[in-house]
Structures are given as structure tokens and as C-alpha cells.
Amino acid sequence: MRTLRYNQALCEALRQEMDRDERVFVLGEDIARHGGVYRVTEGLLERFGPERVIDTPISESGIVGLAVGAALLGMRPVVEIQFMDLITIAMDQIVNSAAKARFVHDGALHAPLVVRTMNLGKGTVYSSQELEAWFTHVPGLKVVMPSDPYDAKGLLISAIRDPDPVIFIEHKALYRIEGEVEEEAYTVPLGQAKLPREGDDVTVVAWSSMVGVAEAAADSLADEGIGVEVIDPRTLVPFDRERVVASVCKTGRLVIVHQAVRRGGFGAEVAAAVTESEAFGYLMAPIRRVANPGVPVPKSGALHPPALPGEADVIGAVRDVMAYG
């Protein structure tokens, strides 16, 4: 099969959906003439023209609000918010206007928009915040976080076709990753986890850029004879609870990995869901989370190690749960 980079896979998804459905249009800063800072919207202006590919002023709140209105009246907008930290400006429109639209109209209207944004990872104070947990806390929103090119394309197509507002979170560290991607349009359903590694000893749940980190850790640990099962939920809402619970019933040990801050992070939700499930009786060790310990991501690389968890932290946590009891 042909390979594409993550950003190219996203671009292809947008192009194919815009070809298929003329209600789909894209808007955001630097997306049209420039083709997007990370080239996700490259070539769309030339193909679809300025009415469907709109360079907007710096108005994050305004453009998300506008997309909600357009979605309510029959369009399928895909908004780009250049990076996650900027979505803070648009929270009112996302949390209040978008998320509640179906509910307040009792289903007579709904807001099928996609807000694409990106976690920067190793950025700096105002460009590294991984805020996915915020959206999972708001009823009415779906939250999608693809970890490779294949899922990027299939999940974006699903998100665009989905009848409800979707927060679609990409990752800068993944844009250049290459992988096999089918040429035709296809969907990856929301709410279905995948298992990039199977193993019997420890379940590691990770998403977005941390899937690769978890896989690398799993490979090193395999050499020590520890079988790690890596689960990538791919979407946080809806969440494939059954897949995770079944895995923990098998392994009896759970490590959850995210780059976001531990306190109030989505890892807490996963841990709670497992302890509330039939997997509780199978647990042989406390659940461990590998996450940011509660600090802003600083500018200086010298200060990064405690702030940005990596492979060594995952390996350490797996060994801890293996050694327990």
C-alpha cells in the first residue's frame, strides 16, 4: 500500500470529503494561501476556491462561533485552531454554543462541526499545553486523537460525517510520521480502540504521540520477558471501555500514559472506569499514571525532563507494577 505522512493523510481526508460533500468547508488562520502552518490544508484553495477555503483574521472565538452557526444552518464546517493553547480563547463557543446545540433544540437542529487543533508537545509555556481532558468533561462533544497516518485519515472522515461537534486533536510530533494509507476515502469508526502490541503481563493505555512511546517501551520490555499490551483508544469520547477492561482482566496490571498534566487528566477517568468495572477483582497492582507532574512546559530544554514523560518513565512504571506485591 502507498505511504503518506500524517499531515498528508489529513489533507487527503479534507480533499476527499470536500469533493464528496459540497457542504464541507474549511476556515482558519494561514490555511488558504499558505496551505496551513503544517501543510494540512495545502492545495485546497486552488481546488475549491476562496468560498470554501477561508483565511480568517486572528479571531479564534469568532471563527468557532461562526462555524457553529453555519453547522446549525446546514453546512459542515471544519475549523482549524492553529494549536491547542489558542483554543482557550474559543472555549465559550465550544462549550456553550457547540456542545449544547442539539440539546437545546431537542434534536430539531444539531451542530456537525469539526474543530481541528494540534498539541505541540515540546513547545514552550504557551504552546505545549495538552488540554484534551477539558473537552471530555463537556457533554455533547466528541474527542478524537489519532496516533498514525492511517487513523488520521479515517478518523477525520468519520469526524466530518459525524452529526455532532468533534474536537479533533492532532500532534506536531506526528505530522512527519509516514504510514500506509488507502487511496480511497474510508472511515475509522469513533469509539474503537486498537492494540498495536499484544501482551499478557501489563496493559498500557496511551494516545496520540504517546502511543509510539508506549510501543517503544513495550519492545524494550519484551527483551526482558515482560509482555506489554498497548491499547490506543484513538478517541476519548466515545471511549472503548470494553477493550480496556477486557485487557486488564487478562493482565491484571494497568499503566496509563499521557503528556497532559496528571491532575484532572483523562488518565484519571480511565483508571476510575477500570476500578468501577469487573476488572477490579483482577488487579494485582495499583494503577500507575505516567504524565506531566503538574508544571507548565518551560522554554529551556534543560528543564524539560521532569515535565515531559518519555519512554524511560513508561518502562519504570511497568517495572513498578510488575514488581508490586
Partner 1 sequence: MDRKDGIGGRELTTKDLVEMYRLMLQSRCFTEQVLVWYEEGRLPQGLHPSVGQEAVGVGACYGLGPDDWVIPSLRTAEAFWTRGVTMLEQLNAMLGNAASVSRGKETSHHAGYPERGILAGTGIVGGSIPVAVGGALALKMRGSEGVMVSFFGDGASNRGDFHEALNLAAVLEAPVVFVCENNLYAQTVPAAVGMAIEDIADRAMGYGMPGRVVDGQDVVAVYAATQGAVGRARRGEGPTLLECKTYRFLPHYPIFEEKRPAEEIERWRERDPIEMLGRRLEEEGLLDEQGKLEMEEAIEAELQEAIGEAEGMPMPDPQEVFENVYREPVEAMGL
Residues in contact with partner 1 by CB under 8 A are 29-30, 33-34, 37, 55-62, 85-86, 88-89, 124-127, 262-263, 293-296, 298-307
Task: Give which of partner 1, ligand TPP, none residue 3 binds (C-beta under 5 to 8 Å, depending on kind).
Answer: none
Distance CA 163, CA 76 (A): 9
Identify what 59 binds: partner 1, ligand TPP, none; CB under 5 to 8 Å per kind: partner 1
| 247: partner contacted, choices partner 1, ligand TPP, none (Cβ within 5-8 A by kind) | none
Angle ∠(262,265,271) on CA atoms, nearest 5: 90
**58: contact with ligand TPP by CB under 6 A:** yes
Task: Say if residues 310 and 213 touch (Cβ distance below 8 Å).
Answer: yes
DSSP string, 183-233: SS-----TT--EEEE--SSEEEEE-THHHHHHHHHHHHHHHTT--EEEEE-
Report the nearest approach of partner 1 to the CB of residue 179 (Å).
Answer: 24
Q: Which is nearer to ligand TPP, 12 or 29 (CB)?
A: 29
Q: Interface residues for ligand TPP in 107-136 (CB under 6 A)?
A: none
Per CB under 6 A, 29 contacts ligand TPP: yes
Distance CA 252, CA 264 (A): 24
- The DSSP bridge partners found for residue 169 are 117
60 forms part of the interface with ligand TPP (CB under 6 A): yes
Grid cell locating 258: 499521557
Residue whose cell numbers read 469513533? 190
Which lies closer to ligand TPP via its Cβ, residue 89 or residue 249?
89
Q: From the list 7, 16, 82, 247, which residue makes contact with ligand TPP (rule: CB under 6 A)? A: 82
- Angstrom distance (rounded) from CA 238 to CA 236: 6
Residue 307 interacts with, from partner 1, ligand TPP, none (CB under 5-8 Å by kind) = partner 1
HEC string for 258-277: EEEECCCCHHHHHHHHHHCC
Options 23, 39, 55, 86; binder of ligand TPP; rule CB under 6 A: 86
* Shortest distance (Å) from residue 296 CB to partner 1: 7
Minimum gap (Å) between residue 89 Cβ and ligand TPP: 6
From partner 1, ligand TPP, none, interface partner of 269 (C-beta below 5 to 8 A by class): none
One-letter amino acid at 212 equals G
* Cβ–Cβ under 8 Å, residues 261 and 294: yes
Report the partner that residue 275 touches, choosing among ligand TPP, partner 1, none (CB closer than 5 to 8 A by kind).
Answer: none
**By C-beta, is 49 or 293 nearer to partner 1?**
293
Beta strands in the chain (DSSP E): 3-5, 24-28, 53-55, 76-80, 114-119, 142-144, 166-171, 178-180, 194-197, 202-206, 228-232, 235-237, 254-261, 288-292
Of 87 and 226, which has the nearer Cβ to ligand TPP? 87
d(CA 70, CA 253): 46
For ligand TPP, give the closer residue by CB, 15 or 171: 171
Binding site for ligand TPP (CB under 6 A): 29, 58, 60, 82, 86, 89
